[in-house]
A and B are shown apart, each in its own frame.
Chain A
């Protein structure tokens, strides 16, 4: 072991007890054929600790009924637990009020909500929406659909060759027609952490509201929406040790109040006649129909779990993982790391000379290693780096240094096969 390796390894134990944490996640014991699972596809979806599964099971076993409806015990209990989850999410990101947290089916749903309810009311023909090259398709396509419909224009912030946004270029894009900014907090494809606070300040100085796609940031760092002063912030439960089908949109109350509803239906109204419908207040205005109650409660349990470890501990530990992985992978000849921003989360996107990412993915799978190969739903990023696809290993706090060693050995095996 090199001195760097040993120092990184010792820092691992001082920060958090990984073995203890791993025992919270039943799936991490899984074997893929005869190989121990090494799960490095956390940016796509994280795994779930048993405590979250147990919470959802308890809900289904002892607390389930529809919410906001009946006066009976179960409905009261379900409603209270659902709202408790909202309160946990509010605290998690330090929102001002519970009603600023809208439950959505995920980040994509939340961005579509804003593109519809804000965009179709306040953005019109000739107006400009600023996005960045680093966006996931989910923060591109809803705005393109809006632009196609109403003649608005999309302006795009470029990146440099380390994968960082060119902030001077961002600032130059503003003019009297600029009406909205959509920016990802962290790139899903290459891990860059964007300077969103500075970007939000600049946009606000021009009277322009900002939506932050936090899907890849919320799992890795402490988020404070009041400190960021963003107008909208969104992320998904399944990337934060929670279930799929649930996420949140945070919106400042004054913004949410002036927006039009997204979906129509039950719960989002206060009265309905065929002549006139009066919409409910926020957050209910944006939560039409019966929500995934168990998932929302599970999301709350996941937030409790993450908070018990503390996001700053998670952040520090994950940084030691990415530093170690970067160090190790740089020792292998014929590897190119895609994305080397000074500020990045624990995402390692890379290519191997002469080997197609899909072959890498299949061969690593043979070693029990789960990585993502492809364009990561971020084709503009791939186009910038002139690669059709990359292999992406994305780490979580339950990953160990030993698992990174398995990945490194796996990559060397791939190279050997294709020699």
Chain B
């Protein structure tokens, strides 16, 4: 069963000991992401260099294990990458979680494919996507975003869980 593989040790580890968790003093980009369906929220701070490289990135917030692990692994994976590379990964991650990209396809996600299982749990897709979604907002100087926002470029309709 898919959920058995969803809570893999790597995800549980990042949930227990999230990397890059906290605030960032010299941030020049930041965004707050919300998932109004469950009340989860996440703040991402970035220091983007003049040549558009993510020099440092942190996150903070209240969320489930899937969201926190996704945020933790995302920050370790995009740190040191260019904005353009990060945007590619954002797109690839989203495509993977909605079934438009397979782990065996060409991509830049590395171990992030561990999240592929959420595609079978539609109510949990947004948990995994929220950090990416918020990263996209921060990189594009959008200060707040929501998984339910109409103008959100990553908005996908998966039904209301209320």
Choose among A355, A362, A375 the residue that contacts B39 (Cβ–Cβ < 8 A). A375
Say if the beta carbon of A33 comes within 8 Å of chain B: yes
A358 close to B39 (CB less than 8 A): no
Q: What B residues does A382 contact at CB under 8 A?
A: 39
Choose among A356, A365, A375 the residue that contacts B64 (Cβ–Cβ < 8 A). A356
Q: What B residues does A363 contact at CB under 8 A?
A: 3, 7
Q: Mark B59-82, 1 if CB is under 8 A from A, else 0.
A: 000111110000000000000000
A33-B7 contact in complex given A362-B121, A389-B38, A417-B12, C-beta closer than 8 Å:
no
Task: Count residues of chain B with CB under 8 A from any CB of chain A.
Answer: 23
Q: What B residues does A362 contact at CB under 8 A?
A: 3, 6-7, 66, 121, 124
B40 close to A359 (CB less than 8 A): no
A357 to B123, CA, bound (A): 13
Q: What B residues does A374 contact at CB under 8 A?
A: 37-38, 161-162
Say if the beta carbon of A166 comes within 8 Å of chain B: no
Task: Count residues of chain A with CB under 8 A from any CB of chain B.
Answer: 19
Q: Mark A1-42, 1 if CB is under 8 A from B, else 0.
A: 000000000000000000000000000000001100000000
* Closest chain A residue, CB of each to CB of B15: A418
A362 to B128, CA, bound (A): 13
A83: min CB distance to chain B, Å: 35
A156 to B3, CA, bound (A): 41
B20: min CB distance to chain A, Å: 20
Say if the beta carbon of A388 comes within 8 Å of chain B: yes
A355 to B12, CA, bound (A): 11
Q: What A residues does B63 contact at CB under 8 A?
A: 356
Q: What A residues does B66 contact at CB under 8 A?
A: 358-359, 362
B64 close to A359 (CB less than 8 A): yes
Say if the beta carbon of A62 comes within 8 Å of chain B: no
A112: min CB distance to chain B, Å: 17
* Closest chain B residue, CB of each to CB of A137: B162
A358 to B15, CA, bound (A): 14
Say if the beta carbon of B4 comes within 8 Å of chain A: yes
A417-B7 contact in complex given A359-B65, A374-B38, C-beta closer than 8 Å:
yes
A137: min CB distance to chain B, Å: 8
Chain A 342-386 residues near chain B, CB threshold 8 A: 355-359, 362-363, 365-366, 374-375, 377, 382
A413: min CB distance to chain B, Å: 11
Chain B 34-65 residues near chain A, CB threshold 8 A: 37-40, 62-65
A388-B39 contact in complex given A358-B64, A359-B64, A363-B3, C-beta closer than 8 Å:
yes
Chain A 378-414 residues near chain B, CB threshold 8 A: 382, 388-389
A355 to B4, CA, bound (A): 17
Say if the beta carbon of B139 comes within 8 Å of chain A: no
A365-B40 contact in complex given A356-B63, A358-B64, C-beta closer than 8 Å:
no
A418 close to B39 (CB less than 8 A): no
Choose among B1, B4, B127 the residue that contacts A358 (Cβ–Cβ < 8 A). B127
* Closest chain A residue, CB of each to CB of B127: A358
A377 close to B162 (CB less than 8 A): yes
A417 to B12, CA, bound (A): 8
Q: Mark A36-74, 1 if CB is under 8 A from B, else 0.
A: 000000000000000000000000000000000000000
Query: Which 3 A-B residue pairings sit nearest by Cβ, starting from the closest?
Result: A356-B64, A388-B39, A358-B64
A-B contacts, 13 listed (Cβ < 8 Å) = A34-B1, A356-B63, A356-B65, A357-B38, A357-B64, A358-B127, A359-B64, A362-B121, A366-B4, A374-B161, A388-B39, A389-B39, A417-B7
